[in-house]
């Protein structure tokens, strides 16, 4: 009989998770039950021999402020967002450690001694040693989103899939929250995502995945065990594929 561990398809995923997931139902700040739940989800992966990298957004603390705080220049607003992702990574890494998962936080912006500066070789060595690496600080540059950072880190560290966890169970042809008749794609090509401007991830991230043949899955985090299902190659969410 084939064991669950032997059935794993993706053993080195990069998980792009929203900051709001750490905030629970309110989507703001830190929510202990939410942190515990997602820490256990990651532990389930590592128990199955999967060593994920993680990129967290910062929306539970700060989102674009160009309308509500017009005095803040775009590059300064992006800097605040980068710092929010560092806070999230530190907090989540501590909860992973408490759950028995070895974790290390990197920042694209040097913040010694708070966290380690991102280094591809060091991160790759830790992944091989079974350490879950959390990449914070975005790309280290303004005007780039955490989606772009996730695609970049997935490619740099040799991940075999990029999994974006959302509130929706895949990619639709329109917003299912606004259109009850929206149709879900089981599979869709990178080119069609770009042509339709579907907002799966930002255009830079999609282009990076396409050009580097990085498999992309979009799944819901609302369903327990969905991350493991995605890594097992089970039919869940939407697969973004080459033409």
The CATH number of residue 118's host domain is 3.40.1160.10
Q: How many domains does the chain have?
A: 1
Q: Could you tell me if residue 82 is inside a domain?
A: yes
What one-character-per-residue DSSP string does the chain give?
---TTTT-S-SSEEEEE-GGGGGGGGTSS--HHHHHHHHHHHHHHHHTT---EEEE--TTT----TTT-TTS-HHHHHHHHHHHHHHHHHHHHHHHHHTT--EEEEESS--TTTSEEP-HHHHHHHHHTTPEEEEESTTSSTT--HHHHHHHHHHHTT-SEEEEEESSSSEESS-TTT-TTPPEESEEEHHHHHHHT--SS-HHHHHHHHHTT--EEEEESSSTTHHHHHHTT-S-SEEEE--
Q: By residue range, what is the domain housing residue 100?
A: 13-241
Q: What is the pLDDT of residues 63-106, one digit of tens each?
A: 766 567 889 999 999 999 999 999 999 999 999 999 999 999 99
pLDDT at 69: 85
Q: What is the pLDDT of residues 141-161, one digit of tens each?
A: 999 999 999 999 999 999 999
Q: Could you tell me if residue 26 is inside a domain?
A: yes
The answer on pLDDT for 203 being more than 60 is yes
pLDDT at 6: 52
Q: Could you tell me if residue 91 is inside a domain?
A: yes
pLDDT at 65: 60
pLDDT at 117: 98
Q: Could you tell me if residue 106 is inside a domain?
A: yes
Q: What is the pLDDT of residues 7-51, one digit of tens each?
A: 899 999 999 999 999 999 999 999 999 999 999 999 999 999 999
pLDDT at 44: 97
Q: Could you tell me if residue 6 is inside a domain?
A: no
The answer on pLDDT for 2 being more than 80 is no
Q: Could you tell me if residue 2 is inside a domain?
A: no
Report the predicted TM-score, pTM, of the whole model to 2 decimal places: 0.94
Q: Could you tell me if residue 4 is inside a domain?
A: no
Q: Could you tell me if residue 1 is inside a domain?
A: no
């Amino acid at each position: 009989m084939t064991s669950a561990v032997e059935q794993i398809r993706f053993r080195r995923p990069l998980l792009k998770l929203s900051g709001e997931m750490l905030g629970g139902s309110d989507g703001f700040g830190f929510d202990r039950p939410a942190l515990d739940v997602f820490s256990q989800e990651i532990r389930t992966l590592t128990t199955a021999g999967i060593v994920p990298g993680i990129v967290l957004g910062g929306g539970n603390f700060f989102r674009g402020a160009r309308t509500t705080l017009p005095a803040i220049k775009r590059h300064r607003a992006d800097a605040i967002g980068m710092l929010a992702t560092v806070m999230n990574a530190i907090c989540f890494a501590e909860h992973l450690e408490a759950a028995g998962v070895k974790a290390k936080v990197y920042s694209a912006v040097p913040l010694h001694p708070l966290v380690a500066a991102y280094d591809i070789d060091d991160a790759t060595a830790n992944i091989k040693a079974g350490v879950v690496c959390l990449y914070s600080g975005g790309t280290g540059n303004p005007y780039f989103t955490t989606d772009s950072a996730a695609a970049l880190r997935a490619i740099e560290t040799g991940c075999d899939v990029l999994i974006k966890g959302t509130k929706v169970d895949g990619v639709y042809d329109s917003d299912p929250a606004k259109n009850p008749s929206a149709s879900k794609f089981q599979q869709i090509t990178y080119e069609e995502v770009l042509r339709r401007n579907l907002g799966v991830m930002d255009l830079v991230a999609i282009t990076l995945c396409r050009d580097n043949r990085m498999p992309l899955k979009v799944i819901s985090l609302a369903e327990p065990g969905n991350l493991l299902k995605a890594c097992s190659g089970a039919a869940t969410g939407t697969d973004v594929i080459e033409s």
